[in-house]
Amino acid sequence: MIWDLSQLVESTDPSSVQKKLESMVAEAEKIRNKYHGKIESLDAKALLELLELKDAYALKFEGTVMYGRLMYSANSTDDIAKQLNDAARRAYMRVGQALAFVDIELAKLLAANPALVTDPRLAEYKHYLERILKRAPHMLSETEERLIIMKDKNGINAWQMLQGDWLSTRTFDIEIEDKKKTLPYGEIIGLYQSPKRDLRKRANQIVYEGLGKDEVLWASALRSVCEDHVQMCKLRKYPSPMTQSWIDNDVDQQTIDSLMKTIEKNVKLYQRYLKLKAKLMGLDKLANYDVVAPLPTAPSMEYAWREARKEIVKAYKGFDEQMGDWVDEMYEKKHIDGEVRKGKRSGAWCASWIAGKTAYILQSFNKKMGDVYTLAHELGHAVHAYLGSRAQKLSNLEIGSCVAETGSIFGELLLTEQLLAKATTKEEKQAILATVLDEFGMAVFQVSARVFFEQNMYDTIEKGGFLDGETVANLWVASRDKIYGDSVDWLKVMKWEWTMKPHYYMANYRFYNYPYVYAQLFVFALYQLYKEEGKSFAPKLKRILSAGSSKSPRELAAELGFDITEEAFWQKGMKQAKEFTDMLERTL
């Protein structure tokens, strides 16, 4: 299936799309002329007008901006797509520049009049305003903010680019079936998933041995990014290196502390799964290159596009009729691009189209079980968009990473339930359960090792330590071992695993990791609740998805009667993981 993007625009004539983009920039200028320098003196009524205008403006041009972008991601070699994508990007940047003052002035207005946040006239924007107010004390003057953007360009942004450029230009020599090959990083890592164990081992050994040789470079980049962050936290008056990420993710320290404590208390559960997986693979113990490898016994099933559609729609309908109808509508309206072709961006994603109260999905469907899972995942995002766009103002749909995966991961579990019920052989069951538990293990436990690692780096800096390559490697190994214990044998060179993770080097993106842990465990807890409550749980999940970002994750959980600052809630997610692990053990 190829998607139909024509619904996004009034006319698909490229010149009319271009014109609309130009009028988008012109309208932004109008808003600027009307409000620049004046937001700080608005009262509640006038502020409501501004917020509604801002939302209406963005919705008006949403489809046009998406049109060029989506067209290009599906067909990067098409000239018109290139042109329109470029025009959309330029227009978007100009709009960003024209309207950058809004957030700064809004923050000042709210800092001076915090009572506006609770003004009943602004009730629909309450949490949106609360979040701006939270950021306000950490914003600097316009001159300082501009200086920071300037120094970052050749500072942390340059370190980030160096890390990315260096990594992508490395090549690695490896022998595959008696042929010597020289592969770039992006290609050799594909071998980590090879069914051949020896090849997986050699690929890991060669990559990390190679990366370790440049330890001075990686450590310099990482150290600069971390030390810059420490300085910026001081300048912006963040009490800890993690505070900014809590504000960005709309969570609090108490919640994340209790989440991470739950992880520490349950490492044995993950280790138990890894030991089971070793048995399934006929090994005494897993090596690091086996952890997410496919099971050798996994049957190679293929799913036709139609069959996948039937399975996924049925899985969603079994949970909630309306959700199932929306999933089906995504197919019916041709909002999914599943065709495999050249020039199409790899990976899969779902883009919400709020004005259209729907979404678009891009994927390259290769008929594998993993592809069916990916579709179920992306369609969960689509359902999230269907619900959110029907219930919320656009400003309330800036959904943070902790909550954004709720619909998608839940959808995967619905599919799991259905595939398990249908599975006829134990090998099939094992393959399904291993897929689910591999993903859970990576998102919850492996990613937690990275949280501990990042925390350890900042502790080291605080104590006056110096982050050279060996020190960083030791911190990584200690964090990793806290999770894996003795359940996995690691190649010695795996101490350089931190060198390639782009997230650690990304400018202004510290502690990107725990929202993944949060999201996965949150949904497992919800799924456990569904198992306990049955049908009556569906409206509850829909309420959470409908809320968008109008409530904090903590408030959302409270509506279900849970306190996410308590470990008991997170333990519910672990209980679900334990049930899957028990199921897997019973197949042995």
Report in angstroms how near the CB of residue 272 gets to Zn ion at its nearest. Answer: 27
Nearer to Zn ion, 73 or 408 (CB): 408
Provide the β-strand partners of residue 175: 180
Among 253, 235, 231, CA closest to 462: 231
User: Which residue's CB is nearer to Zn ion, number 408 or number 565?
Assistant: 408
Q: Which is nearer to Zn ion, 350 or 354 (CB)?
A: 350
User: What SS3 state is found at 330?
Assistant: helix
- Give the interface segment with Zn ion, choosing from 28-36, 73-81, 408-416, 459-467 (CB under 5 A): 408-416
Are 130 and 117 a contacting pair, CB within 8 Å?
A: yes
Cα(570)–Cα(588) distance, integer angstroms? 28
Instruction: Compare residues 385 and 432 and give the one whose CB is closer to Zn ion.
Output: 385
Contact 137, 66 (CB under 8 A): no
Give the list of residues 6+ apart from residue 46 with CB closer than 8 angstroms, or none: none
CA distance 228 to 507: 10
Output 401 or 499, the one with its CB closest to Zn ion. 401
For Zn ion, the closer CB: 137 or 347: 347
Looking at the DSSP bridge assignments, the partners of residue 172 are: 183
Q: Binding segment for Zn ion among 233-241, 382-390, 406-414, 515-523 (CB under 5 A)?
A: 406-414
Per CB under 5 A, the segment of 241-249, 357-365, 401-409, 547-555 that binds Zn ion is 401-409
Nearer to Zn ion, 223 or 377 (CB): 377
Cβ distance to Zn ion smaller for residue 117 or 404: 404
Q: Find the binding residues for Zn ion in span 115-144 (CB under 5 A).
A: none
Among 408, 446, 487, 549, binds Zn ion (CB under 5 A): 408
- For residue 139, the minimal CB distance to Zn ion (Å) is 30
DSSP per-residue string spanning 25-61: HHHHHHHHHHHTTTGGG--HHHHHHHHHHHHHHHHHH
**Which structure tokens are listed for 171?**
């090549």
Question: Closer CB to Zn ion, residue 241 or residue 515?
Answer: 515
How far is 119 from 25, CA to CA, in rounded Å?
32
Do 584 and 430 form a contact (C-beta atoms < 8 A)? yes
Minimum CB–partner distance for residue 349 and Zn ion (Å): 8
**Count of positions on this chain that bind Zn ion (CB under 5 A):** 1
For residue 377, the minimal CB distance to Zn ion (Å) is: 6
Rounded to 5°, the CA angle 323-409-518 comes to 130
Which helix (DSSP H) or strand (DSSP E) does residue 337 occupy? strand 336-337
**Interface segment toward Zn ion; rule CB under 5 A; list 10-18, 354-362, 404-412, 536-544:** 404-412
Q: Are the C-beta atoms of residues 277 and 436 closer than 8 Å to each other?
A: no
242 - beta bridge partners?
none
**Nearest approach, Cβ of residue 409 and Zn ion (Å):** 8
The one segment of 54-62, 216-224, 390-398, 403-411 that binds Zn ion by CB under 5 A: 403-411
Task: Please choose, from the candidates 273, 576, 195, the residue with its C-alpha nearest in 3D space to the C-alpha of residue 441.
Answer: 273
Tokens 């725990």, residue? 514
Quick one: 276 or 387, whose CB is closer to Zn ion? 387
Burial of 37 (0-12, 13-18, 19+ CB in 10 A): exposed
What is the DSSP code (8-state) at residue 424?
-
The residue range among 84-92, 97-105, 407-415, 491-499 that interacts with Zn ion, by the rule CB under 5 A, is 407-415
CB 408, min distance to Zn ion, A: 4
Q: What are phi and psi of 22, to 5 degrees?
A: -65, -40
Q: Is 39 left (phi over 0), alpha (psi -120 to 50) or beta?
A: alpha
Tell the smallest beta-carbon distance from residue 155 to Zn ion (Å).
31
Spatial separation of the C-alpha atoms in residues 499 and 359, rounded to whole Å: 36
Please identify, using beta-carbon distances, which residue of 408 and 549 lies nearer to Zn ion: 408
What does 52-99 look like in DSSP terms, one character per residue? Answer: HHHHHHHHHHHHHHHHHHHHHHH-TT-HHHHHHHHHHHHHHHHHHHHH
- Give the strand order in the sheet containing 358-362: 336-337, 358-362, 349-353
Q: Of the two residues 408 and 520, which places its CB atom closer to Zn ion in the complex?
A: 408
Choose between 143 and 346: whose C-beta lies nearer to Zn ion.
346
CB of 405 to Zn ion, least distance (A): 5
Rounded Cα–Cα distance for residues 462 and 226 (Å) = 11
CB of residue 297 vs Zn ion: minimum separation in angstroms?
29
CB of 381 to Zn ion, least distance (A): 6
We find the least distance from the C-beta atom of residue 430 to Zn ion, in angstroms, to be: 25
With CB atoms as reference, the residue minimizing the distance to Zn ion is 408
- Residue 446 CB, nearest distance to Zn ion (Å)? 17
CB of 382 to Zn ion, least distance (A): 11
* Chain positions contacting Zn ion, by CB under 5 A: 408
